[in-house]
Amino acid sequence: MVFPEGKQPPNSRPPAQPVVFAWFLACGLLVFSVFSHYFPMLSGTADIVGRVVTAAFLLLASQFARRSERLGTYWQVLFAFFVALAAISVDFYLGLSRWIIPALGLQAASPAGYAIEKLESSVLSIAVVLLLTKASGDSLRSLYLRRGRLRLGLTVGLIAFMFVLAGIVPITEGLFNGKDLSWARFLPWTPWVLVFVLANAFNEELLFRGLFFGKLEPLLGRSATNVLIAIPFTLMHVHVQYTASTILFIAFLFPLSLAWGYTLQKTDGLWGSVLFHAAMDIPVILGILSRLP
């Protein structure tokens, strides 16, 4: 039977866009909230089994979709959720910093200790994303690891750094419980602060926006993709202990997440959103370091 141009048989029509959004939002909440590498909802054996079963399901579902004419457009998104879960699980359970920090003669509760722990954690997660992306046959350019509009991205990042530094003390004290802060006190922490914020920003921007945006935008459009990723990213931070007001922090974080996504979309590269994100993380780590004994 021949169908008119633009028509498809009923059983070959793709799901409606709101349904696709809802399904992938559910996947995002499952991966990044239930199995969060910050505050997972499960613990012990239940968490391990849950991660393994979910990862296996996502991997098998992605390969089934890859071979399906009807669902073929969704396989990369499903595989991306598998990659994300694998990356955050390796990060959560491997924890090499518990050996690296003592081997370097450092204290965990110190500027250097926090920086090394974040660097180790980020390198593990990033490595998993890169290796599994290459193993799938995809290019690293699909993760927005490309030049893009580099000048615009660097400009956005520089403006963000200047904005944060201009109000660093009141921002840190007001939102992140900063204690006894002064330029003279925190300038010696600068190398470790930069390692921390750049490692964390690159990891999170790659894991959320770099890994997903290029795969979701053809299915949902730019705006819906940005919102879909911003929701689990924001909710993943609900239980953080470093903010003076969780409600106020979340109220700021959701639009910030949208702004980081918009930056990636406008610059067609990861670098602007990474620098923008890193700048906004400076008051967070300064607040933590300022309360160390």
Among 237, 182, 183, which residue's Cα sits nearest to residue 208? Answer: 237
Q: What pLDDT was estimated at residue 74? A: 97
pTM, two decimal places: 0.94
Q: What pLDDT was estimated at residue 234? A: 98
- State how far the Cα of 244 lies from the Cα of 283, in Å rounded to an integer: 12
Among 109, 257, 272, 115, which residue's Cα sits nearest to residue 202? Answer: 272
* 259-262 long-range contacts, CB within 8 A, separation 24+: 260/205, 260/209, 261/209, 261/213, 261/225, 261/226, 261/229, 261/230, 262/226
234 contacts: CB under 8 Å, gap ≥ 6: 250, 253, 254, 257
Q: What pLDDT was estimated at residue 1? A: 36
37 with 94: CB under 8 angstroms?
A: no
DSSP letter for each residue of 5-54: TT---GGGPPPPHHHHHHHHHHHHHIIIIIT-SSS-SS-HHHHHHHHHHH
Q: What pLDDT was estimated at residue 14? A: 60
48 contacts: CB under 8 Å, gap ≥ 6: 93
Tokens at residue 190, please? 């600068």
Q: What pLDDT was estimated at residue 3? A: 35
122 with 202: CB under 8 angstroms?
A: yes
Q: What pLDDT was estimated at residue 16? A: 77
Q: Which residue has the tokens 């911003």?
A: 230
Q: Low-confidence residues of the chain, pLDDT below 70?
A: 1-14
Mean pLDDT of the chain: 94
275 contacts: CB under 8 Å, gap ≥ 6: 153, 154, 156, 157, 158, 160, 161, 201
Helix intervals (H) in 136-221: 150-166, 168-175, 183-186, 190-204, 211-220
Q: What pLDDT was estimated at residue 6? A: 40
Convert the pLDDT of each residue in 78-90 to its tens digit: 999 999 999 999 9
Convert the pLDDT of each residue in 41-61 to its tens digit: 999 999 999 999 999 999 999
- State how far the Cα of 199 lies from the Cα of 193, in Å rounded to an integer: 10
Among 130, 157, 136, 139, which residue's Cα sits nearest to residue 273? Answer: 157
